[in-house]
Amino acid sequence: MALLQTIVWFVVALGILVTIHEYGHYWVARRCGVKVLRFSVGFGKPLWRWYNREGTEFCIAAIPLGGYVKMLDEREGDVPAELLDQAFTRKPVLARIAVVAAGPVANFLLAILLFWWMVMPGVTHLVPVIDAVEPGSVAARAGLEPGQEIIAVDGVETPSAQALNQRLLERLGETGTISFTVTYPNSTLQYTSEAELNSWLAGEDEPRPLEGIGIKLFSPKPTNQLGMVVEGGPADRAGLVAGDRVVLVNGEPVSDWQAMADVIEQNPGREVELTVEREVEQLNVVLIPDSLEVDGRRVGRIGVGSQAPEWPEEYLRRTEYNLVQGLWRGIEKTGETSWFVLLSVKKLLVGEISTKNLSGPITIAKVAGASAQAGLAYYVGFLALLSVSLGVFNLLPIPVLDGGHLLYYTIELVKGSPVSERIQMLGYQVGLLVVLGVMMLAIYNDIMRHI
């Protein structure tokens, strides 16, 4: 069932993004007087089709991994004389540029609207306050200390933990100076310090910027109260329920969740006695933790999770937006994400980050399923990020992509005549090899991650 849901949410995401992208091409093509023959979501055999009054065939095809808009084009066959004025190839170069650019632009517009929708209820941010600094790390060399709030990195404001993580991600693989601007609680004074990066996390398959820089941000410790009990697990069989609060393990008081978890982990297959508080009474239960192998060693697990702790108000920051501010934030977020995608592509090309970070359809599908399970807001955020990525990648100047067509038409606009068909065909062949090569590498990475 979980696999089916993942596939469904992945197909829904692709369907939405491809439809919006292709509709951008279709809408502008019609406004430019180009006859559209087919609007297809998916490739291969049509599963469902219908026609509008202009004779355009709309269809949903069997392979849901893309789509296309087929326009009347002299390069693909003879065009009746009475329809020549509606052929794509007969349109001015600026019109052709508009038609080709409309797909990626539609993706950017969708992302703006989705980001706008996400911020309109208001956004609560986690304040990036340092809880611990790893000795000898980049953060330690910069003189960062527990209790400081990081308010900027390299002069760019970091009002939230997410913004801090994003700014650090932009420095992956780089060599040079990184600066931190910090402040202390209840103080208006700001301090700036620096440290050196040297191909920072360049070879990491799954880089974790905060860990890589050597800091741990504040988060409240898990409580001793059970937030969930796995059905059929040792805790469930012993009669524990969500809401129970563990006060003793083997007769010894436990100060926090981790202390209890350590005892459980150290006793796989051996009896453990827990004393728990349930409303106004105390109960003693004896259970035997399951024995599981983790990282080559046997550990105990009883099938429980901690009640989520409450965040102190001073570590939360709330931002409210009106309609105009929300729209502007959507534009800003789309621009920031586009820049990050472009920067990542550049770093992949020059070797500053590992090509193992490339993800294919398997990873995207898993993220789609996980975000849908987490809630509507998470799924909408995933759609927005994927829409930006689709827009940016399609604008790369690689023949067979929209960006490749735009490159040819821009050259035509400058020199006053089209690029020769021989050069165009050679470019398409090279572009196809590049795109297929990247896809194969991404799929290979997916397979290696999940085997």
What 3-state DSSP class applies to 169? helix
CB distance 201 to 209 below 8 Å: yes
DSSP letter for each residue of 33-81: TPPEEEEEEEEEEEEEEEE-TT--EEEEEEEEEEEEEEE--GGGS---G
The residue type of 172 is: L
Q: How many CB atoms lie within 10 A of CB 363?
A: 16
Decide the pairing of beta strands 156-157 and 290-294: unpaired
- What phi and psi values does residue 143 have, to the nearest 5 degrees? 80, 20
Which stretch of DSSP H or E encloses residue 31? helix 2-31
Decide the pairing of beta strands 245-249 and 215-217: unpaired
Is position 22 annotated as part of the catalytic site? yes
DSSP state of 159: -
DSSP state of 381: H
Distance between CA 440 and CA 413 in Å, rounded?
Answer: 35
Q: Which of 270, 271, 266 is nearest to 297 (CA)?
A: 266
Distance between CA 120 and CA 102 in Å, rounded?
Answer: 27
The one catalytic residue in 22, 149, 265, 352 is 22
Distance between CA 256 and CA 246 in Å, rounded?
Answer: 9
Q: Which residues are catalytic?
A: 22
